[in-house]
């Protein structure tokens, strides 16, 4: 079963329309690779297929052949992009419809489960170069940071409220003990009843951080029932993706959520963590010449500073220098700091 069925369906339609970026294509094949033959419900597939009034019933061998090609291509997380060509020949059109139906059936828990209602549409909020704020169907409010994406249904089910986050967001959740709120962020799941908390889980960052402003949340790995930790107000759980080791500590919640108001204060932060924030804030890429430079820590307020002025301050603090390689790329050079 795919770890993010809403996102997978969204990317599948973009793929068929030849609109996938390279990053989206990589994400699409990774989500596709999580599917297995056990996810298929053949009877429901046949029922769906016969609902198509203008199309004849396909041979079972053709359906199997289409799905086998999809699975074979997804297996190695293929990233080369050869988008499907739209043609008038009906055999190609049938194959695409078959693939779409097979994928929809593979996402059976979302579309056919008796415990979930299929939404009329699957909205999604994408924050590219600016922050976005949205009110969810239950009245909860989410502030989405730059370069982040939130997948959510147009209406929550009767038993649970589930969303999927890539990037960083601040959640202010309406209290509802009978309907838990669940945030899927990569390999981790955050469960709440009603609270305010921040999740930072960018794909390219090495750390995942969950910080609670008020209330209580439970964090666990996807597919596991045992909780990694239960957090209350002021708690922060930081997980290293490479080692999967969790670290619990108290945090300055105002500093963690300063991105919502454009404040930029680094409090005993590693250069690598600060660089990730700067990358998103200014839509650039900071490259480290030496790995040890990533470990340098500093405390400084650079709110309102221009990028070049900010880099001057940070490189002075870390005894390094910065070099502009192109419009969106900067290299940081220096001996760095020991752990």
Question: What's residue 239's pLDDT?
Answer: 94
pLDDT at residue number 294: 93
Q: What is the pLDDT of residue 259?
A: 84
Same domain, 227 and 281: no
8 Å CB contact between 314 and 271:
yes
pLDDT score of 28: 72
Q: Are residues 183 and 207 in the same domain?
A: yes
Question: Counting Cβ atoms within 10 Å, is residue 267 exposed (0-12), middle (13-18) or buried (19+)?
Answer: middle
Same domain, 217 and 276: no
Residues 157, 235 within the same domain: yes
Residue 332: strand pairing partners: 288, 322
Phi and psi, residue 61, nearest 5°: -60, -35
| 245 and 147 belong to one structural domain | yes
Q: What pLDDT is recorded for position 320? A: 95
Domain end among 111, 136, 170: 111
How many structural domains are present in the chain?
3
pLDDT value at residue 22: 66
10-residue mean pLDDT series, the chain (339 residues): 62 62 71 56 34 40 48 46 38 45 44 35 72 88 90 91 94 92 94 93 91 95 91 95 88 87 80 86 89 92 87 95 93 88
Residues 69 and 33 in one domain: yes
- The structure's pTM equals 0.55
Q: What pLDDT shows up at residue 176?
A: 92
> Which residues partner with 210 through β-bridges?
199, 237
Tell me what pLDDT residue 129 has.
73
The answer to whether the CB of 41 falls within 8 A of the CB of 105 is yes
């Amino acid at each position: 079963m795919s770890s993010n069925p809403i996102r997978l369906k969204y990317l599948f339609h973009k793929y068929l329309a030849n609109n996938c970026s390279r990053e989206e294509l990589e994400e699409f094949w990774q989500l596709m690779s999580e599917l297995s033959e056990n996810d298929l419900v053949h009877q429901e597939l046949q029922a769906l297929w016969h609902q198509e009034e203008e199309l004849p019933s396909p041979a079972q061998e053709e359906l199997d052949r289409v799905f086998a090609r999809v699975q074979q291509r997804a297996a190695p997380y293929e990233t080369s992009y050869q988008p499907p060509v739209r043609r008038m020949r009906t055999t190609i059109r049938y194959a695409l419809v078959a693939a779409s139906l097979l994928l929809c059936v593979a996402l059976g828990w979302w579309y056919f489960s008796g415990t979930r209602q299929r939404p009329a549409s699957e909205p999604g909020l994408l924050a590219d170069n600016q922050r976005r704020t949205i009110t969810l169907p239950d009245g909860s409010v989410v502030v989405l940071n730059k370069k982040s994406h939130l997948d959510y249904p147009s209406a929550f089910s009767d038993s649970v409220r589930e969303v999927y986050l890539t990037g960083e967001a601040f959640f202010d959740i309406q209290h509802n003990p009978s309907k838990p709120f669940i945030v899927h962020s990569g390999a981790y799941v955050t469960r709440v009843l009603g609270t305010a908390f921040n999740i930072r889980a960018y794909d390219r960052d090495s750390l995942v951080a969950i910080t609670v402003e008020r209330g209580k949340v439970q964090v666990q790995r996807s597919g596991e029932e045992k909780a990694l930790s239960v957090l209350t107000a002021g708690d922060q759980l930081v997980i290293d993706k490479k080692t999967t080791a969790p670290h619990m500590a108290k945090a300055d919640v105002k500093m963690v959520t300063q991105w919502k108001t454009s404040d930029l204060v680094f409090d005993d932060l590693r250069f690598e963590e600060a660089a990730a924030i700067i990358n998103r804030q200014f839509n650039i890429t900071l490259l480290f010449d030496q790995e040890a430079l990533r470990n340098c820590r500093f405390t400084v307020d650079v709110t309102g500073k221009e990028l070049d002025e900010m880099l001057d301050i940070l490189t002075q603090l870390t005894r390094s220098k910065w070099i502009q390689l192109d419009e969106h790329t900067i290299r940081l050079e220096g001996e760095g700091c020991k752990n």
